[in-house]
Amino acid sequence: MALEVAAIPFTFVVHILGLVSIVLVLVWNLYFRGGLAWTSSNKSLIFNIHPVLMLIGLIVIGGEAIISYKALPLKKEIKKLIHLGLHAIALILGIIGIYAVFKFHNEARIVDLYSLHSWLGIGVIVLYGIQWIVGFVMFFYPGGTTTLRSISAPWHVLFGLFVYLLAVGTACLGFLEKLTFLEIFSRLPKYGPEALLVNFTAIVTILFAAFVVLSAISQPPQPQADDDYAPID
C-alpha cells in the first residue's frame, strides 16, 4: 500500500498540524484550565500536566519520530538515531504524563483504571515501550542479521503504526472524557468556547495522525541505496 508520491509535502503538513495542536492544548490548559503544577492544593493543576505531556510527547514528538525517515534528507544512520531519540523522548514524556494523572487521582481520591481511556492508555504505553526495545535490539544494537531485519521491518512499521493510532484514539477518548466531566460537574457550556476548543484540538490531532500515516507510506526525499532497513515497501 506504499504510495508512489513524495512524502515531503505531507511532512510539512505534519509539522504545521503538530504545532497547531500544541498551541491548542496549551491554550486549553494554561488559559481555560488555570495552568500546570506538580504540587498544588488545586489538584486540577496536577491533572493538567497529563493532557499537555501526552499530546506534546506521545502524539506530536512520537509522530515526528515516525516520519523522521521521510522528512529529512539525511543519511540513514543519522535518521535512525533521530528516530530512536525522538521516540525515547516521546516515551519518557508519556510516562511522566501518566504518572501525573495517577498522582492527581491519588491526591484527589479518585479511583484508578476503570475507564476505557485508562485501560487503553496503559496498553499503549506498555506496547510503545516494547516496540522501542525490540526496535533498538533488532535495528540498532546489537542488530539482527540482514535477513531477520528485512523480514521484521514491515512488521516493525505495521505494529508501530498500530500502537501510534491506538495512542491517538486514546487521546481522543481522553479529550471526550475530560470534557464530559467538565460539562456535568462544572456545568461547562456544551457549545461554549472551551468545549469547541477541546473538540477542535481532537480533530487537529486526528488530521495530524492521518498525515503522519500518509508520510510514512510515501516516498522518502532521496534514494536510500545503502539502506538495510527500508521501512516502507
> Where along the sequence are the contacts to a second copy (CB under 8 A)?
1-3, 111, 114-117, 119-120, 154, 157-158, 162, 165-166, 169, 172-173, 175-177, 179-181, 184, 190-191, 195, 198-199, 202-203, 206, 210, 213-214, 217, 232-233
Query: Which one, 82 or 166, has the nearer CB to a second copy?
Result: 166
Query: Which one, 31 or 119, has the nearer CB to a second copy?
Result: 119
In angstroms, the CA 103 to CA 128 distance is 22
Helix (H, G, I), strand (E, B) or coil at 225: coil
- Least distance (Å) between residue 38 CB and a second copy: 27
Please name the amino acid found at residue 132.
Answer: W
- Least distance (Å) between residue 185 CB and a second copy: 8
- Residues in contact with 36: Cβ distance below 8 Å, sequence separation at least 6, in sequence order: 29, 30, 45, 48, 49, 52
What size, in residues, is the chain?
233
In angstroms, the CA 164 to CA 161 distance is 5
- Give phi and psi for 8, each to the nearest 5: -50, -50
For residue 157 the three cell numbers come to 512499521
Query: Which one, 37 or 120, has the nearer CB to a second copy?
Result: 120
In angstroms, the CA 195 to CA 201 distance is 10
Q: Which 8-state DSSP code applies to residue 215? A: H
- Least distance (Å) between residue 54 CB and a second copy: 16
Query: Which one, 98 or 214, has the nearer CB to a second copy?
Result: 214
- Least distance (Å) between residue 197 CB and a second copy: 12
Query: Which one, 90 or 198, has the nearer CB to a second copy?
Result: 198
- Least distance (Å) between residue 193 CB and a second copy: 13
For residue 189 the three cell numbers come to 457550556
- Least distance (Å) between residue 169 CB and a second copy: 5
Query: Which one, 37 or 169, has the nearer CB to a second copy?
Result: 169
Beta-bridge mates of residue 219: 6
